[in-house]
Chain A
Amino acid sequence: MANNINTNDLTLLTAHEQAELLNAKQVSSTELTGAYLNRIHALDEQVNAYLTVTDDVALKTAKEVDDLRAKGEKLHPLAGVPIAIKDIVVTKGIQTTAASKILEGWIPPYDAHIVTKIKDAKLPILGKTNMDEFAIGSSTEYSGYKITHNPWDLAKVPGGSGGGSAAAIVASLAPLAVGSDTGGSIRQPAALTGTVGVKPTYGGVSRYGAIEMASSLDQLGPCAKTVLDTAYLQGILGGYDAKDSTSLDYDHNRMASAALKGKNQDLHGVKLGIVRELTGEGFADDVQKSFDSAVELLKEMGAEVQTVDCPSFDYSLAAYYILMPSEVSSNLARFDGMRYGLRACGDNLSAEQTMRLTRAKGFGKEVKRRIILGTHALSSGYYDAYYGSAQKVRTLIQRDFTNAFEKVDALISPTAPTTAFKIGEKMTADPVTMYKNDIATIPVNLAGTPAMSLPSGLGADGMPIGFQIMAPGKMDDRLYFVGSALEQALCEKNGALYEKIQFGKQAVNMKTEAK
């Protein structure tokens, strides 16, 4: 370890900064990875970001990277920078549960495509992060194991379903994390935790080995403290995979160059559209205010901003809550206690009864609710009216995007209607209250287009606010370009948001001093 750096400072750096230290041999991956593991063991009991921590796996990769670097081997630029993976992603030899009791103890015999890519790039895997069960939820309160707390205020939710990955990032329990986004599960937690999260174009990142929630909407993507870090991570995760029939072939290395270019803060010639349906009513005042001042910054950098209409977005929540549960009802059918995972009863009952009891015991309440709703939407006599209509709404939403992108290069909106709410606050009898958190994030999932959430400031309650950028399909680089410019401008104006968090600073010092 270079003598001018200590472990506390190390974990507060961005992944990009850590990679530079590793490449300059100022820090070893073993030191960096060890620093994170220390922090996780010291602090995660307060956050519950992780379901599984894999010290041995991480340190083995770290040592390998250090050895290869010592030999002068050519390594991936991010080699040795640790990463956390949402528990929805299948990892060979590492328990994978999707935060469901029904998969408790399941050790997969194969790796997801992106895990293979992460291993190829030699990023030490710190562990698996908490989430709402099967990524169904918007607060991580529906995890089958534990509730993740928002490091900005431990009484509040970190958003969901990827609350674990987002909380791990902002609490500096991982510099990089993988999330999955079906209706906002990367972006809404990013907004609520003051981090950056990107849902790439549908097909941009292979879904092979991502436990399916709603297959036509699911997309894996990067989570990190900065736009540039997410760009680098998308460079690793993205790319064509023949094992995913919906995979698209386009260049993901251009994300990082777009993010670097964005740092120049020159948006002349860039046309941005505020989505009329995703502002104003339904969005909290402080959220709207933060959004408006970010828009001013964008204009100052030369962007032309106009308001555009996307009338069908008003129907996106309804369409989403038909399509998603329908696919959920089918995707989760395989969890029946026959081949793997939980079997809830002894041998004296029939296979059918065993399935019924296993699913009753293994699934949480929200998952069951959506399975029943989806079963209804697909059932004979209702299919055309529900599923069929929702597919048509999808077409209409795509048309809205197409029309909008004829006028502007990217669309913008707040990511979530409010800042983080209190744990337990929305677990009410009316599930629709919770569903409305996703109002701004859902349209891009229905259209398959990419979107990013980055922090735009803090709300009246001192909690982070997210700013969403949406781009046309395969044009993910526009997110990184515009996002990076805005991030840079905000940083110059207010300082980096993630540095304002109080959580964990003291604890790390204590821990380090104790050593």
Chain B
Amino acid sequence: MATEPKNYVDYETALKHFDVVFGIEVHIELSTKTKLFCSAPNAFGAEPNTLISPVSLGLPGALPVLNEKAVEYAIKLGLALNAKINKKSYFARKNYYYPDLTKNYQTSQSDEPTIGEGHLDLQISDTEMFRIDIERAHLEEDAGKNTHVGGAEGRIFGAQYSLVDYNRAGVPLIEIVTKPVFGAGENAPEIIAKYVRELRDIARTLEISDARMERGNVRADINISLSPKGSGKLGIRSETKNVNSFRSIEAAAHYEIIRHASILLEGETVTQETRHWHEATSSTTSGREKSNADDYRYFPEPNLVPVVISDEWIDQIRAEMPELPAHKRARLTKEWGFSPKDMQDVLNADALALVEMTVTHGTSAHNAKKWWLGELSRIAKEASLSLTDLAITPENVAEIQKLIDDGKVNDKIARKIITDVIAGKGTVAEIVANENLEIVSDDSALKKFVQEALAEQPDVAEKLRNGNMQPIGVIIGIVMKKSQGKADAKKVREIILAEK
């Protein structure tokens, strides 16, 4: 048994010898106002241990009562995943000891989860779809958060002690478990990332989760195993945890495929274990060995009663379902006159919602895309922020684009307004007014600047009069300077031609 190979083969070699089988468990934190089993707030970023009740702290005698909204959210997700909504589902206790678990059992669902089998189709090229079969999705409570103190970079090993914050304890989660996925071939890492992204998008569209990867609202565990090419024999799997970006998900899967293949090609057996992904080194390391000694002693939670979901309840939720991401993408690509690549670029930049909202406020799709994928992406990248974190709204962007369309500001000024809005200097209108940024499109003012410029540059004026238009830029430049950059260059050119 081995956890690390002596040498690593390359990806191509790995795929030449083995078929990749994967499974994904995705935890989505629901954005209910309160926790799954008590009325303590479900919120991010509060002072430690302030969002807790006797129930979420697991105090003796405190009893759980199920949040109806969480069940509703589960049904929504089930419908989006084309899944069977189980008429009757139960909660069970999963017993294990860990300091972040207040009761030393997690209230989860075992044999009879709320959501049964379903599937999700992913578009993997212009013409190809790939189906991920879903085994189940169940409701459960999140645990608290441990901070390990005294070890390197807050990690567990070498830590002297840990500090526990139970604010997250009891936050509702839905865990979506796939069936083993075969046949993805070399695209496996990309498909895994795409699947998680699709779930993220669905969760956002359904408004059941903030679905922010960086906050751990969406967490993916990736199971990888390899089987000798064409053998159909299932290999021993590893489960990689702690992967919290799409890029990392793809990289981790890629890494694990190589690691498995390398071990197997050295004639060794892969150890069944948990792996941890490290962003800094782009590699995984050995975690806890998974053995059959894991005995969670599930039994029905006696303090909760069964959840019974009627057809009427499902129909009511179905009637309120929003348009799902896949359908919306297809529709918008067509409506916006985008090429598949245009759309893919927007998706890769995580900017679909931003572009769409900008379009809603009157900007053309191409211009909206230009701003969000261009200037705004640049600023976000520089500040290490995501686009949604920038202090500028799609409405702001639309407003600025309108100033351009109306000829009131030029591109350069528009960029300045964007920078100022993000810097918190005021609304678009305030910035334009306060700094007197509006283009000088007043003909008489511009005419005056042109006349002055021509007078200052008699040689150039002469050339222009003789029909040599080459040095016209010199005059335009002077006019721009005189107008403090606020002149509309196109207009200036027209005036020069008339006034020369």
List residues of chain A with CB under 8 Å of any chain B CB.
Answer: 89-90, 96, 98, 103, 106, 108-110, 112, 207-212, 214-216, 242-246, 326-327, 329-330, 333-336, 338-340, 347, 351-352, 355, 375, 378-380, 383, 387
Q: B residues within 8 A CB of A326?
A: 299
Q: A residues within 8 A CB of B161?
A: 347
Given A245-B304, A336-B97, A352-B97: A330 and B65 within 8 A (CB)? no
Q: A residues within 8 A CB of B299?
A: 326-327, 330, 378, 383, 387
A333 touches B105 (CB 8 A): yes
Q: A residues within 8 A CB of B104?
A: 333-334, 336
Return the contact of A245 from the options B62, B64, B102, B105 (Cβ within 8 A): B64
List residues of chain B with CB under 8 Å of any chain A CB.
Answer: 54, 57-66, 93, 95, 97, 99, 102-105, 160-162, 164, 295, 297-299, 302-305
For B93, give the chain A residue with the smallest CB separation: A330
B297 touches A379 (CB 8 A): yes
For B38, give the chain A residue with the smallest CB separation: A243
B62 touches A208 (CB 8 A): yes
Q: A residues within 8 A CB of B297?
A: 329-330, 375, 378-380, 383
User: In angstroms, how far is the closest chain A Cβ from the Cβ of B144?
Assistant: 10
User: In angstroms, how far is the closest chain A Cβ from the Cβ of B114?
Assistant: 16
B97 touches A208 (CB 8 A): no
Distance between Cα atoms of A245 and B164 in the complex (Å): 29
Q: A residues within 8 A CB of B295?
A: 379-380
Return the contact of A333 from the options B95, B160, B303 (Cβ within 8 A): B95
Q: A residues within 8 A CB of B305?
A: 245-246
Could you pull out 19 A-B pairs where Cβ atoms are within 8 angstroms?
Answer: A90-B61, A103-B60, A108-B59, A109-B59, A207-B61, A207-B63, A208-B62, A214-B302, A245-B65, A327-B302, A333-B97, A333-B103, A333-B104, A338-B164, A339-B57, A340-B59, A351-B162, A352-B97, A387-B299
User: In angstroms, how far is the closest chain B Cβ from the Cβ of A218?
Assistant: 9
Distance between Cα atoms of A427 and B146 in the complex (Å): 43
Return the contact of B60 from the options A90, A243, A379, A380 (Cβ within 8 A): A90
A215 touches B162 (CB 8 A): no
For A348, give the chain B residue with the smallest CB separation: B160
Distance between Cα atoms of A246 and B295 in the complex (Å): 28
Return the contact of B95 from the options A109, A330, A355 (Cβ within 8 A): A330
User: In angstroms, how far is the closest chain A Cβ from the Cβ of B157?
Assistant: 12
A246 touches B303 (CB 8 A): yes
Return the contact of B97 from the options A108, A212, A214, A355 (Cβ within 8 A): A355
Q: A residues within 8 A CB of B66?
A: 245
B95 touches A215 (CB 8 A): no
Return the contact of A112 from the options B58, B61, B105 (Cβ within 8 A): B61
Q: B residues within 8 A CB of A334?
A: 58, 60, 102-104
Distance between Cα atoms of A109 and B49 in the complex (Å): 14
A212 touches B105 (CB 8 A): no
For B58, give the chain A residue with the smallest CB separation: A334
Q: B residues within 8 A CB of A209?
A: 61-62
User: In angstroms, how far is the closest chain A Cβ from the Cβ of B467?
Assistant: 88
For A336, give the chain B residue with the smallest CB separation: B104
For B305, give the chain A residue with the smallest CB separation: A245
Q: B residues within 8 A CB of A242?
A: 65
B105 touches A110 (CB 8 A): no
Q: Which of A103, A106, A243 counts the most B-chain CB atoms under 10 A from its CB?
A: A243
Q: A residues within 8 A CB of B304?
A: 245
Q: A residues within 8 A CB of B164?
A: 338
A212 touches B93 (CB 8 A): no
B61 touches A215 (CB 8 A): no
Q: B residues within 8 A CB of A245?
A: 63-66, 303-305
B302 touches A215 (CB 8 A): yes
Known contacts A207-B63, A330-B297; 11 further A-B pairs (Cβ under 8 A): A108-B59, A110-B54, A207-B61, A211-B61, A244-B65, A244-B303, A245-B63, A330-B299, A334-B104, A338-B99, A339-B57
Q: A residues within 8 A CB of B105?
A: 330, 333
Q: B residues within 8 A CB of A246?
A: 302-303, 305
For B103, give the chain A residue with the smallest CB separation: A334
Q: A residues within 8 A CB of B302?
A: 214-216, 246, 327
Q: Which of B60, B93, B303 counts the most A-chain CB atoms under 10 A from its CB?
A: B60
For A206, give the chain B residue with the smallest CB separation: B63
B63 touches A378 (CB 8 A): no
Distance between Cα atoms of A266 and B63 in the complex (Å): 42
Q: A residues within 8 A CB of B103?
A: 333-334
Distance between Cα atoms of A326 and B298 in the complex (Å): 10
A-B complex: 10 closest residue pairs judged by Cβ atoms: A333-B104, A216-B302, A378-B297, A215-B302, A209-B61, A211-B60, A90-B61, A334-B103, A211-B61, A110-B54
B102 touches A339 (CB 8 A): yes
User: In angstroms, how far is the closest chain B Cβ from the Cβ of A105?
Assistant: 13
For A108, give the chain B residue with the smallest CB separation: B59
Distance between Cα atoms of A355 and B99 in the complex (Å): 9
